[in-house]
Amino acid sequence: MEEATVEGTEFDFRASRKANLEFLDHAFSDFDWDLEGKTFAQISGATGKRVSVTWDHVLPWIQIHRPNRPELQGALVVEPMTSPPDAFNSGRDVRVLEANEIFESKIQINCS
């Protein structure tokens, strides 16, 4: 997995803007966390409908994917994750749970 800064690229979504990307299947990290340890992603469609996904710091990665299938035209997948793609091979940010250990995270999805 090659890592790069998004600054100045078509993948810099830190400020609201229109994204006309034909292909999007990328992982992002290094978020601005609020004082409660949460961050969010907000997506707005051409109709003005909006979806906001908020998650906590135990999920330091997010995968964003635009399916390239006619029946899913306009769909966008937003997936908060504990580790980046290929983590089982790289070992990066892999969480290993001991027997009876509990792992909790909070994800909130709002539509308006």
pTM higher than 0.75, yes or no?
yes
* The total number of structural domains that make up the chain: 1
Could you tell me if residue 95 is inside a domain? no
Could you tell me if residue 81 is inside a domain? yes
Express each pLDDT in 76-93 by its tens digit. Answer: 889 999 999 999 999 999
For residue 69, the enclosing domain spans: 1-87+104-110
Query: SS3 sequence, the chain?
Result: CCCCCCCCCCCCCCCCCCCCCCCCEEEECCCCCCCCCEEEEEEECCCCCEEEEEEECCCCEEEEECCCCHHHCCCCEEEEECCCCCHHHHCCCCCCCCCCCCCCCCEEEEEC
Express each pLDDT in 10-54 by its tens digit. Answer: 888 888 777 777 788 999 999 999 999 999 999 888 788 899 999
